[in-house]
Amino acid sequence: MRLIVLLAMFVAASLVQAQPDYAREKRWAEEITPTLVVGDAVYLAQKSGHKFLAIYTDAKPARAAVIVVHGLGVHPDWALIGALRSGLADHQYATLSVQMPVLAAGALGEEYPALFPDAAERLQAAVAFLKAKGHRRIALAAHSMGARMSNFYLVGTPDNGIDAWVAIGISSGDFTDAGKLRMPILDIYGERDFPQVRQRAAARATALRALKGSAQIEVAGADHYFAGNERDLIAAARQFLDRKFQ
């Protein structure tokens, strides 16, 4: 009986822990929005009524729009993500950097798949926002856990509205259900990336061969976060997108 009670307590605790931390999102929004230099804060709504922050940066004329997706436990203007969203906007790409669901600080990566359906709903709202702005060509650029969330959205949403995907250091090391992916993909990672990202590069390259216009790039000297190599990442992403959106 004691074992059953303990198991029930563990399951209950896991369910609580797997809920998005809206208070953490709110703190970041309050910190980010007053200091924005590039782009405008907008709030997109989920079916539950929860509103989440996104940062929209227009470009005129825009070649296309890019939804920018951060990794585990950060925010839509964090380090690499802030550089990517503003850097692409400098090259005629409107960008929408989206706050993805996060868990409490200290949560492990293996706990995040419970949030993937929530993440997919946010990406669908981001696509709808961009279409309402008049954008008809839309790409995704997603880093680390954000790339896993994007993978879940892309394979699970037949009418996902995405024409190209820049997958940056996908943290699992693999594309999930790669046979269901239908758009060209740029798989980009660092020479000093996480072991699973580097070790599974050949398997990802095999999956890319079935997708016309796809490519794989290893950035010399870069770590998982592309610290000091942001320009290399932006240049590679821009060149890939330019080929797609001529």
Rounded Cα gap, residues 177 and 135, in angstroms: 28
Closest CA to 96 of 129, 124, 63: 129
pLDDT digits (tens, 9 = 90+) for 140-177: 999 999 999 999 999 999 899 999 999 999 999 999 99
Q: Which of 173, 166, 236 is nearest to 203 (CA)?
A: 173
Split at pLDDT 50, 70, 90, the class of 13 is very low
Q: Which of 89, 77, 79, 76 is nearest to 119 (CA)?
A: 76
Look at residues 84, 78, 105, 59 and name the one whose alpha carbon lies nearest to residue 186: 84
* C-alpha dihedral (83, 149, 144, 130), degrees to nearest 10: -10
Instruction: Give the integer Cα–Cα distance in Å for 19 and 2.
Output: 27
What was the pLDDT predicted at 10? 37
Yes or no: say if 84 and 68 are a contact pair by the CB < 8 Å rule.
Answer: yes
**What tens digit of pLDDT does each residue of 32-59 get?**
999 999 999 999 999 999 999 999 999 9
SS3 98: strand
Q: Tell me if residue 65 falls in helix, strand or coil.
A: strand
pLDDT tens by residue, 222-232: 999 999 999 99
Strand partners, 69: 98, 142
E strands in the chain:
40-45, 51-57, 64-69, 93-98, 138-143, 164-168, 185-192, 215-223
Domain 21-244 has CATH 3.40.50.1820: yes
Give the start-to-end residue ranges of the domains of the chain: 21-244
Token reading at 3: 């074992």
